[in-house]
Amino acid sequence: MARLDGKVALITGAGNGMGQVASVLFASEGARIVVADFSEAGGAETVAAVEAVGGQATFVKVDVANAEQVEAMVAFAMKTYGSLDVLYNNAGIFPSDDGGTTETPESTWDRVMEVNLKGVWLGCRFGIPAMLESGGGSIVNVASFVALMGAATAQIAYTTSKGGVLALTREIAVEYGRRNIRANSLCPGPVSTPMLEDLMSDPARKARRVVHIPMGRLGRAEELAKGALFLASDESSFMTGAQLVIDGGITAAYVTPE
């Protein structure tokens, strides 16, 4: 039997990158997918990709930092499919001017926190009641390896936001552990996605990061999606409040920044 057979999965940031790949993978494992993204074009592309593998998906436009839109997103999922079993809070941003503590603009800090941290909280705030109504489920929140160690290249807002995601996820896991809701964090290393490709358009900046990866390469979106699938499925049924690190060995290495 497929690992997500009969389940409904809501995936934010599903219009490209890891969210899009996860949508197709989850659908191939039996889930019906709510594709949530700010980009209508990206959302339509993901729905088409899901349908191409014989899956079922619908798109809802959302700014995850907007409470009314997130509430509407969850209501749409419940109205469309009648339940919510998997909540994959994947949407995130990494502005190019997110740098050192004293150089990062306040506006950049605020927007990163709104999307990367508040957006995850809002997803859980409105998603959890729907999951309780559905009998429980699994929450997968995307953090990062930089939530566990300082980044070799300064990125103060992004790193801080992802550390907050870990704390938020642990708190939810404890609060809802006896109500059949599990919550875990996925901690990727650098993954070859459109967001990171834009960030690493400068070859020197890319080399600065890749040199710290023991496996010597960026991760692939499908490698992270498989980790998310494990957390979403019943295969991780006794796992909550944990961090699944898929980083090519970065957090195992000793690094001295230049």
Q: Which residues are catalytic, by number? A: 158
Looking at residue 107, what is its pLDDT?
Answer: 98
Alpha carbons 61 and 216: distance in angstroms, whole number: 37
pTM of the complete model: 0.94
Looking at residue 257, what is its pLDDT?
Answer: 47
- For the chain, domains (ranges, CATH) are 8-243 (3.40.50.720)
pLDDT in tens, 102-129: 999 999 999 999 999 999 999 999 999 9
pLDDT above 60 (res 84): yes
pLDDT above 80 (res 201): no
pLDDT in tens, 140-198: 999 999 999 988 889 999 999 999 999 999 999 999 999 999 999 999 999 987 666 66
Strand ranges (DSSP E) for 119-215?
A: 137-142, 181-188
Residue 256, Cβ density class (10 Å: 0-12 exposed, 13-18 middle, ≥19 buried): exposed
More confident residue, 44 or 214: 44
